[in-house]
Amino acid sequence: MKKSRFTEEQMVTILREADKAPVAEMLTGVEEARDQRADDL
């Protein structure tokens, strides 16, 4: 099985932050991360 990029603790932190923020704000963060990753390729 492929190893996760995130530790279990990091995933819990991300999910807790997602519960606090509006959906649009969270999606903006995902979009920015995706764009940055695409630039790195």
Q: Is residue 2 part of a domain?
A: no
Q: Is residue 26 part of a domain?
A: yes
Q: Is residue 3 part of a domain?
A: no
Q: Is residue 12 part of a domain?
A: yes
Q: Is residue 27 part of a domain?
A: yes
In angstroms, rounded to a whole number, what is the distance separating the alpha carbons of residues 41 and 19?
31
Q: Is residue 1 part of a domain?
A: no
pLDDT tens figures, 1-41: 788 888 999 999 988 887 887 777 767 776 777 776 667 76
pTM: 0.45
Domain that holds residue 15: 8-39
| Residue 40 contacts residue 33 (beta carbons within 8 Å) | no
Domain count, the chain: 1
Q: Is residue 15 part of a domain?
A: yes
